[in-house]
Chain A
Amino acid sequence: MKIGVVVSEGPYTHQAADTAYHFVKAALDNGHEVPRVFFYHDGVNVSTRLSVPPQDERHIQNNWTALAKDKGIDLVVCIAAAQRRGLLDENEAKRQGKDASNIAEGFRISGLGQLIEMGIQTDRLVMFGD
């Protein structure tokens, strides 16, 4: 089965990004496909490469980056939600005249159309939120 995943809460405050991560791994282990994960609302904060949690805690962003690299998952961050919350890739930082970008490897910034497209193209859409 093709499964689309949405993460709609931020890291550490909510468990949604962790649960989604475990869900995606389990789905893949059981022979399902997860072509894309879409990050929306505060979920976009998962994509910051500047996160430095204590060493004895899980590193949510690194986990996703590794999973995307390992399994070829398309991690999409909503551009409108990201810009509100100060998440920029290099192109957007330049375009908006900002002095830094902060998107982690494995994530890409794109539009909400990617969420709708995922809903159309997958057999199930699963949201992880509050």
Chain B
Amino acid sequence: MSETKKFLYVNRKAPYGTIYALESLEVVLIGAAFEQDVSLAFLDDGVFQLTRGQDTAGIGIKNFSNTFRALGDYDVTKLFVERESLDERGLTEADLQAITYEDENDDWAEKPSIRVVSRAEMADIMASQDVVLSF
């Protein structure tokens, strides 16, 4: 399996309430071992997955939001967040966790993984993929 494909994981659901977000992240982590060209997209309520300060104590469900910050260690460094989805929910980029990766092609400089893009740009990102997994 030397072929490299562009994989996009599309996250549309809030982090809790349903299991889609958690099980999407599990695919991303396993998939990282296959050394494909991986991107993640966050739109609709999926933008809530990246919000900072999540506290799940009251609902008795594991808080997995810290795992997003480890994605850089798995060479998952492209997290596209749709600006319109943030706007529609009264969120800004400042409400999201700081997620970074170390760029091996730039003397391991720490760079942000999250890129806020417009809905039109998101459509282009989706169109350029080989495999799109929607969660």
Contacts and interface: CB of A to CB of B under 8 A. Distances in A.
Give the residue among A80, A120, A129 with the most B Cβ atoms within 10 A.
A120
Contacts, number: 49
B34 A120 contact: yes
> Chain B contact residues (Cβ within 8 angstroms of A): what range?
20 to 34
Contacts of B5: 119-120
A113 B3 contact: no
Contacts of B3: 120
Contacts of B131: 119-120, 125
A124 to B, nearest CB: 9
Nearest to A42: B19
B12 to A, nearest CB: 10
Contacts of B19: 41, 84
Contacts of A115: 27, 31, 133
Contacts of A120: 1, 3, 5, 34, 36, 131
B30 A113 contact: yes
Contact of B23 (A81, A117, A127): A81
B26 A116 contact: no
Contacts of A27: none
Interface string A87-130: 00000000000000000000000011101110111000101010
A64 interface: no
B86 to A, nearest CB: 23
Nearest to B5: A120
Nearest to B32: A116
Interface of A: 6, 8, 40-41, 80-81, 84, 111-113, 115-117, 119-121, 125, 127, 129
Interface of B: 1, 3, 5, 7, 19-20, 23, 26-27, 30-31, 33-34, 36, 130-135
